[in-house]
Structure 1
Amino acid sequence: MPDRTKSAKPGGNGVIKIAAIGDLHVQEDAQTSYRDLFGEMSREADILVLPGDLTNLGKPREAELLAEDLRACSIPVVAVLGNHDYESGCVEQVSGTLRQAGVHLLDGQAVELGDVGFVGVKGFVGGFGPRMLGSFGEPAIKAMVAESVNEAMRLENAMRQVRARRTLVVLHYAPVPETVAGEPLEIFPFLGSSRLAETIDRFKVSAVVHGHAHRGSYQGQTPGGAKVYNVAMHVAKPTGRPYALLEI
C-alpha cells in the first residue's frame, strides 16, 4: 500500500494541485471500480480530496471496497463523511477502515500537507441567507438548528488550529446557494447552510469544496469572497472529467 501519510511536495512555483471528487457512493454489489480514476488523479495532482458520500449506505464492506481501490492512489488523501456514510449506523467501522487505508479523515479537525491546511467537517442542513431555519417552535426543529450551529462551531474550532498560509475547507453540505443551483428549489434548505459560510468568512481561506448537490453548479463564492466548488461526481467541471483540479 502506498504511504499516503507523507506531505505533498509543491511544484517549483509553490502551487499545490488538488484533485477533488465527491459522492462516489461505493456500493458493495456494484461492478464500478475507481481504481483507474484514482491512478489518473495521482498523476494529475499532489493531493486527493473526497468531500463525503464515500459509500452508498454506510456499510463496512463498502468502505473496504473503497479502501481497496485507493491502493491505486499514490498521493495523500483528505476526506470527510457525508450523510450516506451514516445510513447504516456503522460510522466508526467505516471511519476506521478508511483511516487504516491512510486517509486523513476529518471530522472537526485540521491537517497540514505541503504548506496547505485542510479543514473538514460534514456540515448540515438549514438553508441559506435570511431564510435559514431559526431555532423556534417544536423541539425537533430546535434540535435540527442546534446540529447546524454545532457543525459551524466545530468548523470554526478546526480553522483556529491551522497555521499554514493556505487553507482548503472540505465539507459535504454546501455553504452557499450558488453551488446548489440546478437542484429543485424545494430541497435547497436540505442541501446546506449559510452558517458554514459565515464561519468560513471569519478566516482567510484559499478555497472551499463540497459535494451532496448532484445536480448543482460547479462554482460560487461566500459573501466574503472565498471561492466555493461543488465537486460532486455528476456536476460538470472544467476538466471534462468527474473530478476537479484546483491550484492552491
Structure 2
Amino acid sequence: MFLKRSLEDRVEKAKIDQKELNKLIEVYKPFIANILYKKKGKFLQYGCDDELTIGMMAFKEAVEAYDKKKGKFLSFAKHVISLRSIDHYRKNEKMKDKIWLPIVTQSDDKSENSVMDDESIKKYEYEKENELRRLEISEYKKELKKWDIEFADLLRTCPKQDRLKKVYKEIAQFIIMDSKILNRLIITKRLPIKEIQGNMLIHRKKIERGRLYIIALVIALKGDYDLIREYIIN
C-alpha cells in the first residue's frame, strides 16, 4: 500500500472511536458544505439548514462503510453525501430552488427578503474552496513530516525554471507508474536515483538537487490531495 495517510488512519480510528469521529466531522465541515453547495447552488449554514445535518450523517455513514479497496476516502465520502442529498431533495420536492436572505436596509431596521445574487454565490464558493485548500495543505504538511520534509524546504527547493519543474514532474510520474520503484521509495524513503537515471537518462546531480521536490510530488500525486494535484498537473 502506498503511504499510510493520516486521513486514512483517522478514518479507521473513527470507526471505533466516537470522539475521533466527531473531530473528523468537525474538520471536514467545509468539505461537506462545498459538496452540498455544488449540488444545490445554495448557500447553507450549519445550525440553520437541514441539508448540512444530512451531509454530516452521510459523512458518518461513509466513515463506517469505508473500505480502502474502494479507493480514496474523500471520493467515497463525496459519493455517499451526494446520494443522501439527492434522497433528501426528492423527499422535499416542495423546497424552493431560490434562496432568500434577510437584508437590513439603511432606512430602517426591518429585514426584507432578497434573492442571493450571483456575486454572493461566487464569494461563498471562493471562500469554501479556500477552506478546503487550507485543510488539504495542512494534511499534506503532516504527510511530508513523515518523510522528514518541511513545507518550507519545498518552497526553498522549488525549481524556478518551468522546464526543470516539468522534468521533476515527469520523474515523479515515472516513479508512480513503476510499482517496484515506488515500493522501494516507500520502504527506504530514499529516492532510487540509479533506476531513474538508467530509465530516463537524466544527469545524477540534477536528480539529487530535486530529491525533496520529487518525493513531495509523488506524495501529492498519489495522496488524497485533489486541489494540490490539480495545481501540479496544470
TM-score (norm 1): 0.22
- Greater helix fraction, Structure 1 or Structure 2: 2
- Greater strand fraction, Structure 1 or Structure 2: 1
TM-score (norm 2): 0.23
Structure index of larger Rg: 2
